[in-house]
Amino acid sequence: MKFLNNMTLGQYVPVDSQIHSLDPRSKIIATIVCLTGVFLVREPYGFLSWGLFFVLIVSVSRLPGSLIISSSRPVWILIAFTSVIHLFFTKGVPVFSWGILEITREGLDMAVRMGLRLLMLVLFAGFLTLTTSPTELADGLESLFSPLKRFGFPAHELAMMMTIALRFIPTLLNETERIMKAQIARGADLDRGGPLRRLRAFIPVLVPLFVIVFQRADDLATAMEARNYTGGEGRTRMYPLRWSVTDSGVLMLTLLFAIAVSLLEKRLMP
């Protein structure tokens, strides 16, 4: 239950800040640059540089730090699992062994590196959804994909599907919480026992959840057909996107920072 309450993926927090007022296209491209830069990081000072950069943009966005931290909680298990896999299954110089388990120096280094990398990837991606509304995100993605329309790429449809998926994450979480409370009120025990027992206990939660998912999808399709929705051909936007000098400056600074961190790593790498 606490896990669902702390879930922030797909949520948008409206705040009057310079980050929120940026063009969604610049934020999407800047996020891609940040994710690429974090993915290429290998040394501790590279992770430290990107961490300080993230703290800087969070302070500019005026979002509460607790909200940013909670956005990474859904993937803590994945991060821990990935780190453990690298910790025990990477060959190298042994530093600790216990039975068939062996921790190597290379495994320890890889575990920390991959854990930090996944954490930063989630934080930057979550920061984009927290500072960009679903409508703006859809318009930005469609605009970025629009050059591919001449090759038959469904830019509008893809942007619409991604936006609907993000928009319905909080809704489905609320439905899951409501179903869990109803099952607990009927005497269901969802928090005790081993993994198999907990999995069996969640079957009464998953079945009605899947029914609600398909029902909402059908209602949405019916509503779109009733409004004569036929795709993005000839459609206009209520709020047209406008690229400003600030967007160019932010994107250029982000790109220069990523290049600087990469060059710094190559220079200081032993």
Q: Which pLDDT band, with edges at 50, 70 and 90, does 53 fall under? A: very high
Q: Which pLDDT band, with edges at 50, 70 and 90, does 182 fall under? A: confident
Q: What is the pLDDT of residue 268?
A: 66
3-state DSSP call for residue 45?
helix
Q: Which pLDDT band, with edges at 50, 70 and 90, does 56 fall under? A: very high
* Spatial contact of 57 and 127, defined as CB atoms under 8 Å apart: yes
Whether the predicted pLDDT of 253 surpasses 90: yes
Residues 192-230 pLDDT 10s: 666 667 677 777 888 888 888 888 888 888 888 887 777
Q: What is the pLDDT of residue 29?
A: 94
Angle (nearest 5°) at CA 178 between 173 and 179? 100
Q: What is the pLDDT of residue 10?
A: 57
Q: What is the pLDDT of residue 9?
A: 55
Of the two residues 4 and 205, the one the predictor is more confident about is 205
Of the two residues 85 and 246, the one the predictor is more confident about is 246
Task: Give pTM, 2 decimals.
Answer: 0.74
Q: What is the pLDDT of residue 8?
A: 54
Residues 145-172 pLDDT 10s: 888 778 777 777 777 777 777 777 777 7
Residue-by-residue DSSP string for the chain:
-HHHHT--TT------STTTTS-HHHHHHHHHHHHHHHHH--SHHHHHHHHHHHHHHHHHHT--HHHHHHTTGGGHHHHHHHHHHHHHH--SSEEEEETTEEEEHHHHHHHHHHHHHHHHHHHHHHHHHHHS-HHHHHHHHHHHHGGGGGGT--HHHHHHHHHHHHHHHHHHHHHHHHHHHHHHHTT---SSS-HHHHHHHTHHHHHHHHHHHHHHHHHHHHHHHHTT---STT---SS-----HHHHHHHHHHHHHHHHHHHHHHHH--
